[in-house]
Chain A
C-alpha cells in the first residue's frame, strides 16, 4: 500500500466515521434520557436515504404512507386518552399535529413534482417526512412502558426494528437506491486528491455536532434533556416530564439518523434493510464511549470508520468481522477499569 492509497482509504474511513459518530451521539442521547437502546436508528438512516432517492427519481416516497398511517394511529391513541380524561380541548391540536401536517406534506408532494426542486429543498422535504416518525414511534411503542426495565425496553426496541424493516420493504420495495453525488469537486493537496464529497460529509457532520452541542449547553430544553438523563426524579420535580424528554430525544435521534442517511446515500447503495449494519457501527462507537460520554463515543465511531476502511483493503471479506470484534477488547478494558454502576430504579 502506498501513501496515496492510504490517504484515500483514510478519507473513506473518516467520511463513514463521521456518519457513525452522528449515530453514536444519537444512541447515547436516547439511552441516557429514556434508557432505550435505540436499535431502530438504522431504519431511519435507510428511510432518509430512500426517501431522498424517491424524491429525486420523481416518485412519491413510501414514507408518506407510513407517516399518514402512524400519524393516524397516534391520533387515535391520543384522542381515546383525551376522551377518557375529558380533555376535549386537546382534540383539535392532536388532529392537526398527527394528521393535518402529514396530509399537508402529501398535498405539497402531489402539487409540486419534487424531482424539479433544488437539492436542498429535497433534503428538507425528506427530513420532514422521516423525522416525525421518531416521536410517533416513541408515543406508540415506548411511552406506555417508560418505567419498564432496560431489558424490556431493549426487547421492544428489537420488535420496533423488525417492524420498521418490514414496513421499509413494503413501502420502498426490495431494490436499492443511490443518489447522485452532492458535488464532484475535488481538491489536490500535494499528491493526494481530496474529494469534495468527503469534505461535505465531514463538514455537515461537524456542523450538526456543533449545533447539538449548543442545543445541550445553551438552551433550556437541551439542559432539560441532560437533567433528565442525570436525575429523573429531580427533573420531574421541575416539571420536565419524562414523556416530553422522551419525545424530544427521539425526535433528535431520528433527525440525526435521517440526516446521516441523506449524507450516506451518494456513497453507498442503500436498501430497505441496510440501516441496521450502519446503525450497528454507530453502536460500536457508542459502546466504546460506554453509552455515556459523547466525545469518547464520537471518537470511537471515527475509529470504527477508519478500521473498516483499512480492513476492507487488506481483508475485505472480514471487514465487518474485524469491526465488530473490536467491541471485545473494548468491553474487556471497560469492565476492568470502570466501576459497576447499579441500574437506577
Chain B
C-alpha cells in the first residue's frame, strides 16, 4: 500500500515537472467579468499548456459559461489574458481569436440547423478558407475518422440530429478550424451515459494531437478522469485547483462533486 502511494506520488511529480516545461497556450490573470453591475467572475487565475486537458468543474451558475464566453471575446472582461504569448487588448474580437486558433464549442451547440452536417463542418473551416487554406476536405475526412457517426449522417440536416450527434457535430465543426485551444462547454450535458463515455474517450484522444483543451463540466468524475489539471469554480471564484488526480482524492471535491450519486454532485439539472 505504501509502495503504491509512493509510486503514485512520484508519477504525479514527474507529470508536474513535464507540465512545467510545455509552452503555455493561455495564461489568465486576475480575470473579472460583469453582467451590468453584477460581477459574475471574480479575479480568476488560470493556465493551460500545449497538449494538456484542463478542466473547470463547478455547480450550476458558478460562472463556467461566463468564463468561456469572456475568453472567447463574446463578453468584455477585466484583467490580463495572454494567449500564445501575446497579451490581448481590450477590443479583442471573436473573429480575431478564431483566426488565432481559439475555438469554443458552446453549451447550446449553436449549430446551423437548416444546413447539412457536411455544410456545418465546412463552415467550421470558414476562417481557414478565407485565409487561403484549401485543405477543408482532408480535414473533414479526419473529422469523419474521429466521428464515424457524422460520416453516416453527412447529408442530414443538423436540426434533425440526436443530442449526442449534435454534440459530435459541434465538436467536429470546431476541429475543422484546426484549433490550438479547444474550449468545450459541458459536452456531456443532456447525454446518455454511453455517449458521454464515447465523447470523453474522444476528448482524451484529441489531446494526443497536441491541442490544448479547456473542458468545462458538471460531470466532475468523468472530467477529472481525462484531465491533467483542474479548477473548481464556485460562485465566480476558484475555490480549489490542482492536478486532477489530487483533486479527485480531495475530500472537499469528493463530498461536493463525486458524492454517492456517482455522476457528480450537482447532477440535479
Contact = CB atoms under 8 A, between A and B. Distances in A.
B250 interface: no
B95 A230 contact: no
Given A236-B95, A237-B94, A230 B112 contact: yes
Interface string A228-246: 0011011111111100000
B123 A240 contact: yes
B119 A238 contact: no
A226 B158 CA distance: 14
Contacts of A226: 112, 114-115
B110 A233 contact: yes
B127 interface: yes
Interface string B108-127: 00111111000100111011
Contacts of B99: 239
A335 interface: no
Which size class do B's interface residues fall under? Answer: 20 to 34
B112 A239 contact: no
Contact of A239 (B95, B113, B114): B95
B199 interface: no
Nearest to B174: A237
B115 A238 contact: no
A223 B119 contact: yes
Interface in B198-241: none
A236 B94 contact: yes
Contacts of B126: 220, 224, 238-240
A290 to B, nearest CB: 15
A85 interface: yes
Given A220-B122, A224-B123, A233-B110, A239 B130 contact: yes
B129 interface: yes
A302 to B, nearest CB: 25
The main secondary structure of chain A at its interface with chain B is helix
Nearest to A217: B119
Contacts of A85: 91
A238 B106 CA distance: 12
A240 B129 CA distance: 11
A233 B112 CA distance: 10
B98 interface: yes
Contacts, number: 66
Given A237-B94, A238-B173, A239-B99, A230 B113 contact: yes
A129 B98 CA distance: 35
Contacts of A240: 95, 123, 126-127
Contacts of B114: 226, 230
Contacts of B122: 220, 223
Tell me which of B99, B129, B130 has the highest count of chain A C-beta atoms within 10 A of its own C-beta.
B130
Which size class do A's interface residues fall under? Answer: 10 to 19
A229 to B, nearest CB: 9
Contacts of A230: 112-115
Contacts of A223: 115, 119, 122-123
B98 A237 contact: yes
Given A85-B91, A220-B126, A237-B104, A231 B177 contact: no
A241 B95 contact: yes
A131 B99 CA distance: 29
Interface in A187-229: 220, 223-224, 226-227
A238 B124 contact: yes
A93 to B, nearest CB: 16
Given A227-B123, A230-B113, 5 more contacts: A223-B122, A231-B112, A233-B106, A235-B112, A239-B130
19 contacts: A223-B119, A223-B122, A223-B123, A224-B123, A226-B115, A227-B112, A230-B112, A236-B74, A236-B94, A237-B98, A237-B103, A237-B110, A238-B123, A238-B124, A238-B173, A239-B126, A239-B127, A239-B177, A241-B93
Across the A-B interface, the 6 shortest Cβ-Cβ residue pairs: A239-B127, A234-B110, A239-B98, A241-B95, A227-B112, A236-B94
